Amino acid sequence: MSSWWGTAWVEALEALSIDPARLARGRAYQQDGHVVSVHVTPGRIIAYVQGSRPRPYRTELRMHTLSEDAWNQFLDEAASQPGHMAALLDKDMPHSLVDAAAEAGVALLPSRGDLLPSCSCPDSGRPCKHAAALCYETAALLDKDPFVLLLMRGKTEHALLDELGHRNAAHAARETPPAAPTPGIPAREALAERFLPPLPPPLQVPPHPGSPPAYPTAPAGVDALALDHLATDAAARAHTLLTTGHDPVAALTTWQDAVRRAAARPTAGLTASTRALYRDLAAATGRTPTDLARAVVAWRQGGVVGLSVLETEWDPPAGPFDRARPALAAAGYPRFQPSRNHLTIPGGSMQLRFGPDHRWYAYESDPGRNDWWPRGDPKADAVSALHRD
């Protein structure tokens, strides 16, 4: 490890393990590139680790997130020192900042019992070699970007820098003496002297956004169709904002907005421009074109909720989820195996996912491949969701 915080992560892993041999195997797996599809979210990091069997294992590493009070203490400490904030913007984690936060009771780096590994492999070791490989891969990620650690603790880079900016501005305002008043006259008197006419009434909002204007020939390296797509999307957003006062994209994450934009393009007979858009959006969000294509299908199935159903497992409460399997059996379907909010035919090609909107989302895969893609529209009951329209 090249950074001290990456080294501290590895030390926490080695303190967790009682089997040095498993750690050595995990490090070898990581160095040989066996850890793929790494996905970091607040409180956990998920990846697939290729072991000795043909199918990779799904490996997960959980970490306790900080409370809101703890985050406030850390942010106040970071904003109080200009050097701390400058270092964070430069992808550096000052030792003095971590020490000051620790003195205030805020532990950024993991300690014994802080890392909770799990893996789909049959190895009962804690951690198994696959989880150890993911830990070493996480340390490598931390070397490049300490914000990965802060995301594991519960804050995205965007949210963290935004809150730091607010605190820094407030701190600067407290330190800056009030400016002397500027001499002048009230605006009402100035306007009265000039007898300015009243502003004209605003133009009426058109019934639809309309087509974007015709652009001149795009310069070399600029995709004219992509430019047209961006203009059309901006016009639709502006029209919605004018007519409803609500921006439908404002609450979306960067990834969700990328999926929304890709879903707006036709996919039947993909053009070179559309393929280029998929490639560029996938690269900009750290995903693969296949990840984006799968997410587009989920978006068209159910929008933001459909994408959440694709990417997030959860534990539904007792009720409709428990009644689904008897209903499916009565309809003549084979036995479904439950796992969190999923119902899957073992070794089969059908799966149902129960969404947070209490609707059922159908998925399909080639038998034995565990490569699930959304299909159909969400339904209020599990049996209807499996019927093809």
pLDDT digits (tens, 9 = 90+) for 198-220: 778 888 888 887 776 666 666 66
Please give the span between the terminal C-alpha atoms of the chain, in angstroms, as a whole number. Answer: 54
Predicted local distance difference test score (pLDDT) of residue 80 = 74
Span 50-84, pLDDT tens digits: 988 888 999 998 888 888 888 888 887 777 776 77
Please give the structure tokens belonging to residue 312.
Answer: 């997030």
- Cβ neighbours of residue 60 under 8 Å, at least 6 residues apart? 44, 45, 46, 117, 118, 119, 131, 134
Please give the structure tokens belonging to residue 264.
Answer: 């707006």
Is residue 269 very low, low, confident or very high in pLDDT (cuts 50, 70, 90)? very low
Predicted local distance difference test score (pLDDT) of residue 341 = 93
Peptide bond into 127 cis (omega under 30): yes
DSSP reduced 3-state for 55? coil
**pLDDT above 70 for 17:** no
**pLDDT above 50 for 5:** yes
| Residue written as token pair 């605006």 | 187
Q: What is the mean pLDDT of residues 145-151?
A: 82
Predicted local distance difference test score (pLDDT) of residue 300 = 92
Predicted local distance difference test score (pLDDT) of residue 220 = 66
**pLDDT above 80 for 225:** no
Predicted local distance difference test score (pLDDT) of residue 342 = 94
Which has the minimum average pLDDT: 147-156, 177-186, 216-225, 327-336? 216-225
The more confident residue out of 172 and 10 is 10
Q: For helices 272-284 and 224-244, give the axis angle rounded to 10 degrees.
A: 70
Span 88-123, pLDDT tens digits: 777 777 777 777 777 777 887 777 677 788 899 988
The more confident residue out of 11 and 361 is 361
Exposure letters 86-109 (e unless 16+ CB within 10 A, then b): ebbeeeebbeebbebbeeeebbbb
Query: Considering the chain, what is the average pLDDT of its residues?
Result: 82
Cβ-contact 325, 342 below 8 angstroms: no
Is residue 295 very low, low, confident or very high in pLDDT (cuts 50, 70, 90)? very high
Residue 63's closest CA among 109, 116, 108? 116
Q: What one-character-per-residue DSSP string does 67-109 give? A: PHHHHHHHHHHHHH-HHHHHHHHTT---HHHHHHHHHTT---S
Span 339-373, pLDDT tens digits: 999 999 988 889 999 999 999 999 999 887 888 99
Please give the structure tokens belonging to residue 374.
Answer: 């959304």
Predicted local distance difference test score (pLDDT) of residue 14 = 75
Predicted local distance difference test score (pLDDT) of residue 248 = 78
Predicted local distance difference test score (pLDDT) of residue 337 = 92
